[in-house]
Amino acid sequence: VAIPTDFDVANAASWDQLLSGLKRLDILVTIAVAAYPSPLSIAATSLADFRAVVRPNLEGAFLATRYGLLKMRAFGNGGVMINVASAYATVGAADQAALSASANGIRMMTKSAALSCAEAHDGIRVNGVAAGARATPEHVAAAVAFLASDASSYVSGYTLPVDRGFLAA
């Protein structure tokens, strides 16, 4: 399913409508990309600035995960959910508080969803990708492809760093 450019990822009705016509949903990938247009310290960040990043990133990932899980469970054939967020932000960024909050929120929500699916024995795996600033789209796509494949059939609740060792430091 291609998402239209004017799609509001943080609107529950939009997700419900988008997924309602599907005959099957095997893989759903979310990518959090909103960040401040220029660096802002937390003291200089307004609530509007904060929400402009957290709403599409974290709320969008939450709604995609929620509606995706509901749809996958309705079909009863398992599935894979993959949430992609910034690796840089998961360790905290002085000039991107909202990005840090949303990236870590997505990481913890991914774990929570994976635990929920494991308890439900629904065959749905939920993982994440922490994309580093120097990770090319091809590197991120390769990690997503791995997590979506049968090669990772026993992996759930994990966030795979694609960052050339940044998070290892």
Q: What is the pLDDT of residues 83-95, one digit of tens each?
A: 999 877 667 677 8
Q: For the chain, list residues with pLDDT below 70.
A: 1, 89-90, 92, 169
Taking CA 95 as the corner, what is the angle to CA 93 and CA 101, rounded to the nearest 5 degrees? 50
The CA distance from 167 to 58, in Å, is: 21
The CA distance from 130 to 109, in Å, is: 13
What pLDDT is recorded for position 6? Answer: 85
What pLDDT is recorded for position 86? Answer: 84
What pLDDT is recorded for position 48? Answer: 95
What pLDDT is recorded for position 169? Answer: 67
What pLDDT is recorded for position 35? Answer: 84
3-state SS string over 28-65?
A: EEEECCCCCCCCECHHHCCHHHHHHHHHHHHHHHHHHH
> Is residue 27 helix, strand or coil?
strand
Say which residues have a Cβ less than 8 Å from residue 3's Cβ, sequence separation at least 6.
9, 18
Tokens representing residue 161 in the block: 């760093």
* Phi, psi dihedral angles at 91 (to 5 degrees): -100, 0
